[in-house]
Amino acid sequence: MYNNLKFEVKEGIAYITMSRPKALNALNTETLNDLHVAFHECQKNDEIKVVILTGEGKAFVAGADIAEMCKLNAQEGRAYMYKGHAVMNQIEALQKPVIAAVNGYALGGGCELSMACDIRIASENALFGQPEVNLGIIPGFGGTQRLTRLVGKGMAKYIIMQAKNIKGPEAKQLGLAEDCVAPEDLMPTAEKVARTIMSKAPIAVAQAKVAINVGADLDMKTASQFEIECMSTCFSSEDKAEGMTAFLEKRDAVWKNK
d(CA 139, CA 130) in angstroms, rounded, equals: 7
- Inter-helix orientation angle 109-116/143-151, to 10°: 60
CA quadruple 107, 26, 87, 68: dihedral positive or negative? Answer: positive
Residue 7 contacts by C-beta under 8 Å, 6 or more apart in sequence?
Answer: 1, 14, 15, 16, 17, 38, 41
Beta bridge partners of 120: 100
Residue 243 contacts by C-beta under 8 Å, 6 or more apart in sequence?
Answer: 201, 204, 253, 255
**Vertex 200 angle, CA 17 and 52, to 5°:** 5
Q: Among all residues, which ones are annotated catalytic?
A: 112, 132
d(CA 195, CA 193) in angstroms, rounded, equals: 6
Among candidates 29, 25, 216, which has minimal Cα distance to 118? 216
d(CA 203, CA 256) in angstroms, rounded, equals: 9
